[in-house]
Chain A
Amino acid sequence: QKEVEQNSGPLSVPEGAIASLNCTYSDRGSQSFFWYRQYSGKSPELIMFIYSNGDKEDGRFTAQLNKASQYVSLLIRDSQPSDSATYLCAVTGPNSGYALNFGKGTSLLVTP
């Protein structure tokens, strides 16, 4: 089983701060990387995807990918209490049959 690892948290940040969420993966053949947000009792909601090394920005969210280090991260700027949720890192590629291989998620708490 190819591994996707995330710190379970909880990660607590004050409102307005930057939240940094990290993910490592073991399969070097991985091609696509996704961040999903999951509120308690709800299904995962796609935030961002990234395929190429470097940074990708979308509003307050920035995804960072480093394939050499097998590391992907998500930065949330100007964190809001509504960002409090579990963030799931997911990885896919030919070795997984293109099914998403999920980490167990990091719980983020943004305090007012």
Chain B
Amino acid sequence: GAGVSQSPSNKVTEKGKDVELRCDPISGHTALYWYRQSLGQGLEFLIYFQGNSAPDKSGLPSDRFSAERTGGSVSTLTIQRTQQEDSAVYLCASSTPISGGAVGTDTQYFGPGTRLTVL
């Protein structure tokens, strides 16, 4: 079946502009995660959705970042008034708990990412 898809694959924007990044998870996956990976850095957790709700927004770096998920499927990450330090690859992952598995055992599958460059 289809994997996680993200769009656009690349986005170049000017400092101060708003951007929207889209994630389409694997069909049927209930959980959706956003991460970002800056050059030479590890993956940094941003936000997690279970269904349409976001119980964990602790990773969002500032109030310029927001995300929503509708219909338990597609998610959009919005960055307002972009700054150069926002330049990174933004990765989305989706998962669904393994049947009968313990909480926290679900496996996350990543999309190809959106490379954001803020000039």
Contact = CB atoms under 8 A, between A and B. Distances in A.
Given A42-B112, A103-B42, A105-B42, A94 B91 contact: no
Contacts of A99: 33, 45, 48, 56, 59
Interface residues of B, number: 27
A43 B113 contact: yes
B2 interface: no
B108 interface: yes
Nearest to B106: A98
B43 interface: yes
Contacts of B91: 43-44
Interface stretch (A11-19, A45-53, A67-75): A45-53
Interface of B: 31, 33, 35, 41-43, 45, 48, 55-56, 58-59, 89, 91, 93, 102-113
Report the 6 A-B pairs with minimum CB-CB distance, sorted nearest first: A97-B56, A104-B42, A99-B45, A102-B43, A43-B110, A31-B104
Interface of A: 31-32, 34, 36, 42-46, 49, 51, 88, 90, 92-94, 96-105
